[in-house]
Amino acid sequence: MTATSAQDIETAARLLAAATDVTLLGHVNPDADALGSALALGRVLQQRGADVRVSFGEPDEAPETLRWLDDGGLLTRADALPETDRLLVALDTPTPARLGRLGARVDAVRAAGGDVLVVDHHATNARYGTHHVVDERAEATAVLVTRILEAMGAPIDEPVARCLYAGIVTDTSGFRRASPETHRIAARLLEAGVDPAEVARRIVDDHPFAWLPMLAEVLAEARLEPEAAQGFGFVHAVVRSAAAETVRGEEVESVIDVVRATREAGVAAVLKQTGPALWNVSLRSAGGVDVSAVASEFGGGGHRRAAGCTVPGTSEEVLAGLRAALERAPLLGAEG
Ligand code: AMP
Ligand code: MN
Ligand code: MN
């Protein structure tokens, strides 16, 4: 960590330690890193006596698999938030646009002279706050939150540790991409009482039976294009509304983790239909091609090896656009 980051963390710790009223926000369609980071920090601030709420722009309710992270009942629907915030903390969110309908709160707080703390690990972070703990080398926002909590000298109880562990285990793909230091953080979280098997089972490995016929239908239409993506190979699958409607969002989000395991493809995409001609696209790279550049071309973003975007058109048009963008995407070096 650079000296600047250490100072940023100290400054954030002091800001949070003095806070009496805090709104913590994750990105739209929050994942375990966004919600886990917000709920962990929120719980500590609540224990210190602050009024705290955790929210996100859409959908109205948190994914079922993540609700058990909210031990203290901090989750608040976006339409039930107070009109203004004293201190706004945005987590795992590179731009105000990724806060969805809550994005306008950033300017409102700043205009009222309040503080906006941005805690994030996206390389594309726009530094839109008044204070920033932004480090693209962190594998998860939860890693940065852990550092802030340690700088605050805050006790990390099991519910806090569970939230942080959930963010880390998912954003590192089950510790496949975790540094020695992040493994050491995970060890401290286990010492605080986290049950790693339970976290993985409840968040990653728990699906209703309807998941299997949905996967069967979607995977039957998966296609491999071995020459695409500058020769790295491109595999893709399409989840149409009819298939998506048979399951929860969690099952739809799981499809990319199956498709990305395809050996012959360096890049994987899953198109998830959200309207008659609108698709959320998940992109994954095995390390050859920078998929955040591809997502950026369509107004999305993410990380070099995991990115996403929302694209209009037919599924064939979206795939054609991705194919073309993959041909001009930057290649990643040995460090991936
Ligand atoms: P996902 O495929 O939804 O798991 O997303 C992978 C990564 O891409 C995450 O780190 C997100 O931050 C990012 N991402 C996904 N969708 C979008 C989007 N529409 N705009 C910007 N970033 C996105
Ligand atoms: Mn996220
Ligand atoms: Mn993250």
Q: How confident is the model at residue 1 (pLDDT cuts 50, 70, 90)?
A: very low
Q: How confident is the model at residue 84 (pLDDT cuts 50, 70, 90)?
A: very high
Q: Where are the alpha helices (DSSP H) in the chain?
A: 3-17, 32-47, 104-111, 141-152, 158-171, 180-191, 196-203, 211-220, 241-244, 249-259, 291-297, 315-328
Q: Helices H, strands E: what count in the chain?
A: 12, 11
- Local structure of 242: helix, strand or coil: helix
Q: How confident is the model at residue 3 (pLDDT cuts 50, 70, 90)?
A: very low
Segment 28-49, tens digit of pLDDT:
999 999 999 999 999 999 999 9
What is the 31 CA–ligand 2 centroid distance (Å)? 5
Nearest CA to ligand 1 atom 9: 302
Contact of 282 with 272, CB cutoff 8 Å: yes
CATH number, span 6-204: 3.90.1640.10
**How many percent of the chain have pLDDT more than 90?**
97
Question: pLDDT at position 333, please?
Answer: 84
Mean pLDDT of 135-148: 97
What is the 34 CA–ligand 3 centroid distance (Å)? 6
Give residue ranges with CB within 6 A of ligand 1.
98, 256, 282, 300-303, 306-310
What pTM did the predictor assign?
0.96
- Residue 335 confidence (pLDDT) above 90: no
Mean pLDDT of 146-153: 98
Ligand 1 pocket, mutate which of 98, 170, 294, 310 (most atoms under 8 A from CB): 98
Q: How confident is the model at residue 2 (pLDDT cuts 50, 70, 90)?
A: very low
Q: What residue ranges do the domains of the chain occupy?
A: 6-204, 211-328
**How many percent of the chain have pLDDT more than 70?**
99
Starting from the CA of residue 140, give the closest ligand: 3
Contact of 305 with 287, CB cutoff 8 Å: yes
Question: pLDDT at position 4, please?
Answer: 57
In CATH terms, 211-328 corresponds, of 3.10.310.30, 3.40.50.20, 3.40.50.300, 3.40.50.2300, to 3.10.310.30
Question: pLDDT at position 334, please?
Answer: 76
Higher pLDDT, 288 or 334: 288
Ligand 1 atom closest to the Cα of residue 309 is 19
Residue with tokens 């339409």: 79
Segment 205-252, tens digit of pLDDT:
999 999 999 999 999 999 999 999 999 999 999 999 999 999 999 999
Ligand 1 pocket, mutate which of 303, 304, 310, 322 (most atoms under 8 A from CB): 303
Q: How confident is the model at residue 5 (pLDDT cuts 50, 70, 90)?
A: confident
The Cα 149–Cα 147 span in angstroms is 5
Mean pLDDT of 172-177: 95
- Residue 162 confidence (pLDDT) above 50: yes
